Amino acid sequence: MTNLTVMPYAAYNSELVSYAPDIFYLANTDTDVAVFSKNAEKSAAPASLVKIATAVLAIEFCENIDAEVTVSKNAVELLFGTGSSIAGLAAGEKIKMRDLLYLLLLSGANDAANVIAEYVAKDIPVFINLMNDFAKAIGCKNTNFTNAHGLDDFNQKTTAYDMYLILKHAIKIPLFREIVAVYERNVPATNKISRRTAYNRNPMINIYSDYYYKYLGGGITGSTELSGECFASFAQKDGYTYICIAMKGDYRVINKSAEKRNTAYAASREMYGWAFENMRLKIVSDSARIIDEIEVKNGKDTSHVALIPEKEVTALVPISAELEGLSIVTDENSKPESVTAPIKKGEVIAKANIYYSNTIVATVNLVALNDVERSEKKAVISMVKSLFTSKPFYAVLIIFALLFVIFLIAVYTFSKSKSERSRKSGSYRQKKPYTQFKK
């Protein structure tokens, strides 16, 4: 793939799915181009989507993923009275970190989240700080974690776009992808509990579910009073990978369905299908097309140089997109008023935005089409002109003028003073003979 910067602003057919949850975001992970976007920056409770970050830190911080972990009394008792999903971990139970991750990501076990947090950071509040540091490090700007499991807390919030960044990071980890892809996992017996079976709560990987989608790589579900129905997932087909974040979903009749359906799952499935069928990476600009030109100062035999794309540019656009519907426009904020020779062929001068349907789908560097040699004669003239029009020159000139004025004032004052003394002295000499005569 060519070297380009793709902007995450292209959102096509945002109204295609009429029953979409209040918040959803689907984007291509190779380009970060958003195909669907609705309230992607709106804050919302994340529910169990929090567990994605919990799992990432567990995998990245544990040197031995099969290390034996001892369940503390505190980790278990913190969830008493919540009525939330748990694996039934017991104080003093010894269980492998790998098994805790399966319980966390498949069954949504909140007690597993607390045990992981204590093991990784020795203290749950410290682990929460790590979670928030991690979120900021990968570019999340509107996320604040207050626990490791996702139970409602008015101070715990995120956005669909931030969750996209978190899941995008997570699916780069082989073990994470391995865990979320399975439907069930037998967890070996421990010193306290007989063998457990962790079932994946994600219906889109269950072949017996109406929501089943064969291209889904995995996902995390969540549901609380504040969050509504949530689902964060990724799907892969024909070399393309998409991530979909659905939040604030509900249950409703869809397309005259006999029963109410979960809009987070249904909309995600529909969005994936549309994206895989309708979006493709296409060449949207080649490096031979002249996009703009710029003035060159002190150039030999020329006063301007043409600007072309640095490289062939590929962007994610609808299959139906025609070159006539694409436009390349110089980003004026990146373009200087002029450049000074010598200029080398291929030298980066500015940037250009590539638009499809009035939406930026990519940006590309604009470079000089050819070399421009320096004219020494023009350079000297320019230097002299620059010298006499420069601010330092004017500053020196003003200082010199002020000093000259001061000098003139001083000379005038001195001359006037001397003249006054001479006048007084002459008057005295004239009066003296008269006085003597009078006497």
Between CA 3 and CA 393 the distance in angstroms is 45
Does residue 368 carry a pLDDT above 90? yes
* pLDDT of amino acid 227: 97
Percent of all residues in the chain with a pLDDT value above 90, rounded to a whole number: 66
What pLDDT digit, counting tens, does each position of 219-232 carry? 999 999 999 999 99
| Least confident piece of the model among 308-312, 336-340, 354-358 | 354-358
Q: Would you place residue 420 in the very low, low, confident or very high pLDDT band (cuts 50, 70, 90)?
A: low
Average pLDDT, stretch 175-203?
96
With beta carbons less than 8 A apart as the criterion, state whether 303 and 341 touch. Answer: no
* pLDDT of amino acid 45: 98
| Least confident piece of the model among 86-90, 120-124, 257-261 | 257-261
| Least confident piece of the model among 165-174, 244-253, 274-283, 323-332 | 323-332
Does residue 435 carry a pLDDT above 70? no
* pLDDT of amino acid 6: 34
Between CA 162 and CA 137 the distance in angstroms is 11
* pLDDT of amino acid 423: 61
| Least confident piece of the model among 166-170, 349-353, 371-375, 413-417 | 413-417
Average pLDDT, stretch 233-251?
97
Does residue 436 carry a pLDDT above 80? no
Classify the phi-psi angles of 320: left when phi > 0, otherwise alpha if psi is within -120 to 50, otherwise beta.
alpha
* pLDDT of amino acid 384: 55
Single pTM value for the model: 0.79
Does residue 388 carry a pLDDT above 70? no
Does residue 5 carry a pLDDT above 70? no
Does residue 428 carry a pLDDT above 70? no
Average pLDDT, stretch 173-192?
97
Instruction: Measure Cα distances from 306 to 4, 100, 296 in Å.
Output: 20, 60, 10
Tell me which residue has tokens 């062939």.
312
* pLDDT of amino acid 403: 83
Taking each helix axis from N to C end, the angle separating 160-170 and 50-61, rounded to the nearest 10 degrees, works out to: 30
Average pLDDT, stretch 334-358?
90
* pLDDT of amino acid 389: 62
CB-count exposure of residue 111 (10 Å: 0-12, 13-18, 19+): buried
Distance between first and last Cα of the chain: 120
* Residue predicted with more confidence, 431 or 318: 318
DSSP character for 409?
A: H
Average pLDDT, stretch 407-427?
69
* pLDDT of amino acid 8: 41
Does residue 429 carry a pLDDT above 60? no
Tell me which residue has tokens 């007690």.
111
What pLDDT digit, counting tens, does each position of 18-77 carry? 888 999 999 999 989 888 989 999 999 999 999 999 999 999 999 999 999 999 999 999
Nearest to 42 by CA among 150, 141, 132: 141
With beta carbons less than 8 A apart as the criterion, state whether 322 and 284 touch. Answer: no
What pLDDT digit, counting tens, does each position of 324-335 carry? 778 889 999 999
Between CA 49 and CA 217 the distance in angstroms is 16
* pLDDT of amino acid 434: 41
| Least confident piece of the model among 39-43, 174-178, 303-307, 395-399 | 395-399
Does residue 425 carry a pLDDT above 60? no
* pLDDT of amino acid 13: 53
Does residue 83 carry a pLDDT above 70? yes
Nearest to 20 by CA among 275, 264, 278: 264
| Least confident piece of the model among 89-103, 133-147, 424-438 | 424-438
* Residue predicted with more confidence, 340 or 322: 340
